[in-house]
Structure 1
């Protein structure tokens, strides 16, 4: 790449970094206010990441698309990613609702893998949102992928991801089955912890009365 092209690509990725900053700030504000009002914070922690230029280019090649900034912006929707980890499964939908109600956040797509898990047992809610980023001479609408899941779901997904790449996508059937069974156990654990939390809340509500 020529020097001016490298600078263009660097600036392109910088706009995604700014979009991540915007989303992270929004989530922190929502979490802090929720804590103040309800004495409870639904967000355990937030992770952010930006794909490397090499990863974006490889994805364009797999899609049989020319490597260009225009194609990257139009066809790669997960360059910027935010993962929101919460304690309980009902927190997922509270967080989703709060994000969707932000007037300057345009929700492009929602995929609910919690209500409709993937065949391997994967659970998470995925959103593609459009975030306005105000630069020195213009405003850019930047896409950001947000994943919302519980700590238990995140634990399973992280290990499944590592196993998946160790086998280069060809996971033996018996290991695939064990992963699915583990995902079912994780789902049961989430349900039990939610039920336990609801009992605790009810107990303290009765105590106050």
Structure 2
């Protein structure tokens, strides 16, 4: 028999669960803004973008409850926060393996972010071949009446790693093979594909480093280029007065 709850009680619970989920949504918004700033600054300083794209997701209330049941937690908001750390998830896809660790360090160096856990499945791949860098990060979220430290999962991987993980996901879930024995041949081919993706990543990394070395050797900036800065696709000429100050400062140092 369905339990009939008072309308006010239903409204209150709806508001509580909505606010709870919004807290994680705001954490995702905060992290995506930080990533956009890092990318823009990195592009300006190094003329290079280490991030191909990002993707975020929130677990549904149903998915949260199912995971809570599996973990044996009681149904309460504190229990959910304690047992489930990946309600909010952000996936960052990079071009090269080295970019993964660059982005990871940039996030770790932000003083108001707290890295709770790090799992490096690149240096230590899972038995099935899965590779990625996982971080559990506490993000400060400012609500209207309080500040919350919200835990979310950040996965950082290359395009090749992401392509492989997407394929494995489709095999196990789209075709519903997770509930039956997966053929040994299929598992072996998945592992071989993971090895191929890893080899491709290492080859592309070598090519990337070689190209960067060539670029540095050939880098010559004209006087005109040195006298301009570019921000948000807009060019700004450096004032002559500012250039004279720099020149005068250098002359004083030479004396």
1:140-155 equivalence runs, <5 A: 140-155=148-163
Higher relative contact order (CA 8 A, sep 6+): 1
> 2:128, 2:191 within 8 Å by CA — same for their partners in 1?
yes
Q: Does 1:38 align with 2:46?
A: yes
Once the two structures are TM-superposed, the CA of residue 108 in structure 1 deviates from its matched residue by: 0.3
Map of 1:168 onto structure 2: 178
Between the aligned partners of 2:182 and 2:66, the Cα distance in structure 1 is: 23
SS at match of 2:41: helix
Between the aligned partners of 2:197 and 2:33, the Cα distance in structure 1 is: 30
Between the aligned partners of 2:91 and 2:118, the Cα distance in structure 1 is: 14
Q: Does 1:113 align with 2:121?
A: yes
Map of 1:67 onto structure 2: 75
- Larger-gyration structure (1/2): 2
Map of 1:50 onto structure 2: 58
Once the two structures are TM-superposed, the CA of residue 64 in structure 1 deviates from its matched residue by: 2.0
Moved more, 168-177 or 29-38: 168-177
CA-to-partner distance for each residue in 1:24-53, whole Å, 9 max, x for gaps? 001110111011000001011110000000
5+ long unaligned stretches in structure 1: none
Moved more, 143-152 or 159-168: 159-168
> 2:168, 2:190 within 8 Å by CA — same for their partners in 1?
yes
Map of 2:197 onto structure 1: 186
> 2:73, 2:80 within 8 Å by CA — same for their partners in 1?
no
CA-to-partner distance for each residue in 1:130-156, whole Å, 9 max, x for gaps? 011111111111001000000110000
TM-score for the superposition, normalised by structure 2 = 0.80
1:198-209 equivalence runs, <5 A: 198-208=209-219
5+ long unaligned stretches in structure 2: 221-255
After the TM superposition, which parts of structure 1 deviate over 6 Å for at least 4 consecutive aligned residues? none
| Counterpart among 92, 96, 109 of residue 104 in structure 2 | 96
Once the two structures are TM-superposed, the CA of residue 3 in structure 1 deviates from its matched residue by: 2.5
Map of 2:241 onto structure 1: none
1:134-145 equivalence runs, <5 A: 134-145=142-153
TM-score for the superposition, normalised by structure 1 = 0.97
